[in-house]
Each structure stands twice: as structure tokens, then as C-alpha cells.
């Protein structure tokens, strides 16, 4: 399914264009306006799914890069989209107040690495090794160190 085609908007559509298209199509295919019409009900569900993805910048970015399958994999890795944050669960059992939040190391930007892989590697899954370097900055007056 192409969510942009479902909402009848171009791929580079603004949030406002997506919202307008959604409202127009949702009104047209709403089950209350089409009682007993299974095709309209299916179309309404597709419109809602498309809007749910395209109106959320993170989901839209994943969809634009990897398509619908990428969204499914992202949802599976994120716990199926159940809205449960494992950190919250562990914090409730083992602590996790403000001090722990401050002591966490802040992660840097994503690292982009070009890799060569065959189509079979991509389809079947493969492990590739990437060499990384860690730079330490020593804070002499306070005896600490920070990772970059």
C-alpha cells in the first residue's frame, strides 16, 4: 500500500495538506455515511492507517525510507507499539530518580557508515563488523572523564 496514494497527496506533502486530505477522505468514506458498504469500510480503515503514519514525523520518516515493512519491523522492535517503556518499569522496581537521569552518558549523533552487502545478505540477514574509535576527554581538576 502506498499511503501517499491512499490520501491522494504527493510524497513531499506538508502536514497541513495531509490533514486536509485525511479529513476530506475520512468524511467521504466514514462508515456512518456508507452503512453496509464493506468497500467503504475497508477504504476508511486504510485512510486512517495512512494518516496515522504520515501525520507522525518519526513514522513518516521510517515509512519514506523503508516502506510499510520497515514500519512493521520498527513497531516489533519497539514492543509492538503497546506504549510500554521498559525503562519506566525497571525504574519503578529498582529506583531511577533524578540522579540516575543526570548520571547517564549522553549519546552522540548517529554514525553513518557505507557498507557493501549483497541482496542475499539483506534478505537473509548478516553480521558485518565495523571498527569504531572512542575518544576520551580527561577532566583533570575533577578526576573524571567523558566519552566522545
Confidence class for position 113, pLDDT limits 50, 70, 90 = confident
For residue 28, what pLDDT is reported? 93
Relative orientation angle of helices 15-29 and 38-54, to the nearest 10 degrees: 160
68 φ, ψ (degrees, to nearest 5): -65, -35
**Among 3.20.20.10, 1.10.287.110, 3.10.20.30, 1.10.579.10, what is the CATH number of 3-105?**
1.10.287.110
Relative orientation angle of helices 38-54 and 57-77, to the nearest 10 degrees: 100
The 10s digit of each residue's pLDDT in 62-91 is 888 888 888 887 776 665 444 445 555 555
Confidence class for position 23, pLDDT limits 50, 70, 90 = very high
Q: Which of these, 133, 128, 130, 125, lies nearest to 108 by C-alpha position?
A: 133
Q: Please name the residues in contact with 144: beta carbons below 8 A apart, sequence gap of 6 or more.
A: 138
Amino acid at each position: 500500500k502506498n499511503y501517499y496514494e491512499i490520501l491522494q497527496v504527493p510524497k513531499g506533502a506538508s502536514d497541513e495538506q495531509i490533514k486536509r486530505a485525511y479529513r476530506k477522505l475520512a468524511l467521504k468514506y466514514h462508515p456512518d455515511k456508507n452503512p453496509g458498504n464493506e468497500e467503504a469500510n475497508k477504504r476508511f480503515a486504510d485512510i486512517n492507517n495512512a494518516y496515522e503514519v504520515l501525520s507522525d514525523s518519526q513514522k513518516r520518516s521510517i515509512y519514506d525510507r523503508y516502506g510499510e515493512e520497515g514500519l512493521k519491523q520498527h513497531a516489533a522492535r519497539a514492543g509492538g507499539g503497546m506504549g510500554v517503556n521498559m525503562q519506566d518499569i525497571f525504574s519503578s522496581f529498582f529506583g531511577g530518580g533524578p540522579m540516575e537521569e543526570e548520571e547517564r552518558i549522553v549519546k552522540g549523533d548517529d554514525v553513518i557508515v557505507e557498507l557493501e552487502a549483497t541482496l542475499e545478505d539483506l534478505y537473509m540477514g548478516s553480521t558485518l563488523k565495523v571498527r569504531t574509535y572512542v575518544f576520551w576527554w580527561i577532566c583533570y581538576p575533577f578526576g573524571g572523564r567523558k566519552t566522545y
